Amino acid sequence: MGKINRIGVLTSGGDAPGMNAAIRAVVRASAYYGITCLGIHRGYNGLINGDIVTMDARSVNGVIARGGTMLYTARCPEFMTEEGIKKAVGTCKYLGIDGIIAIGGDGTFRGARDLANHGISTIGIPATIDNDIASTQYSIGFDTACNTAQDAIDKLRDTMQSHERCSVVEVMGRNAGHLALHVGIACGATAILVPEKELDVEKDIIEKIRQGRINKRSHFIIIVAEGVGSGVEVAEKIKAETGIDARVTTLGHIQRGGSPSATDRVWATRMGEFAVSGLLAGKSNRVVCVVNNELIDVDINEALQMNKDIQGELYQTSKMMAV
């Protein structure tokens, strides 16, 4: 692959707070290194239909503090066809785009791999509140989502405590329990249901609530990860077996919004700069990853083969705290 003079940046898949900070970092690093940066709208759709704008250092003023993504995000089924990818590659050739930085999750990285296979250099940046990307310990948006859910559950706790109720809270995470586990620990949950671990409802929830009442606990919080299913069944069981009033709250999309935390802004900035430097160093088909607090890059095909589990010792600690 030749010299990099012009790059494009896009956000794709589910949005996450901090995506704007990553876009800003890509744009500002490009300005620093003296290359042109183009903003591609609506994920891979923008590459197919040419919905692309030139970005300079000033076009990202103020976005570091804003949630969502200024480039919009969308799913693009057409890109997954041979015809779609040919159109996207055609746009890159026409506009002289030598490299693409794709911000998103595993689906987004599959798209980046396909572009790399067609001769366009690509680097992926992990951004998802689910933190379910196996190759990296951290994804942009996770910290903010934890804080948002924590704030909402703290508010629920006030009212649950006053009425001596049980709150069953559904949190996002797709098929992963990272968000649920972190939020559950941060909010002092009685039990945390995650898809990665089998939980004995009788022993781990009902018995804990009974014991809690004996220990003069006035209220209870049960966290249910999206990947486990609905909290309604859990609430019904708690009501039926303990007599406690259990209320279900689904936090929903508020978890995906809001001004990014300092942690997300700093990682997003570092990752954006790292991705631009990587392209300039001739790298392609790589994903930026955090391993032991350091940034590295991993081959996309290898990254997509990896599996991720929740942190076992964190899960054990969460159980110990629920007395």
Chain residue whose CB lies nearest ligand ADP: 107
Which range binds ligand ADP by CB under 6 A, 10-18, 207-215, 250-258, 295-303?
Answer: 10-18
Q: What is the end-to-end Cα distance of the chain in Å, rounded?
A: 59
Q: Contacting ligand ADP (CB under 6 A), which of 8, 17, 99, 111?
A: 111
Q: How many CA atoms lie within 13 A of 111 on its CB side?
A: 32
- Shortest Å distance, C-beta 88 to ligand ADP: 9
Nearer to ligand ADP, 54 or 175 (CB): 175
Could you give the CA distance from residue 112 to residue 124 in angstroms, rounded to a whole number?
7
Q: Which of 121, 136, 175, 171 is nearest to 268 (CA)?
A: 136
Q: Tokens for 274?
A: 């790292």
Place of tokens 């039926």: 240
Sign of the Cα pseudo-torsion (81, 85, 86, 88, in order): positive
Contact call for residue 110 and ligand ADP (CB under 6 A): yes
> Which residues, numbered 64-103, are part of the site for ligand ADP (CB under 6 A)?
75-76, 79-80
> Which residues, numbered 125-154, are part of the site for ligand ADP (CB under 6 A)?
128
Nearer to ligand ADP, 104 or 231 (CB): 104
Q: Which of 135, 146, 58 is nearest to 124 (CA)?
A: 135
Q: What is the DSSP letter of 198?
A: -
- Shortest Å distance, C-beta 320 to ligand ADP: 34
Place of tokens 């600690």: 317
Distance from chain centroid for Cα 185? 19
- Shortest Å distance, C-beta 311 to ligand ADP: 22
- Shortest Å distance, C-beta 135 to ligand ADP: 13
Residue 200 known to be catalytic: no
Q: Contacting ligand ADP (CB under 6 A), which of 4, 9, 13, 29?
A: 13
What residues are labeled active site?
130
Positions that interact with ligand ADP (CB under 6 A): 12-14, 43-44, 75-76, 79-80, 104-108, 110-111, 114, 128
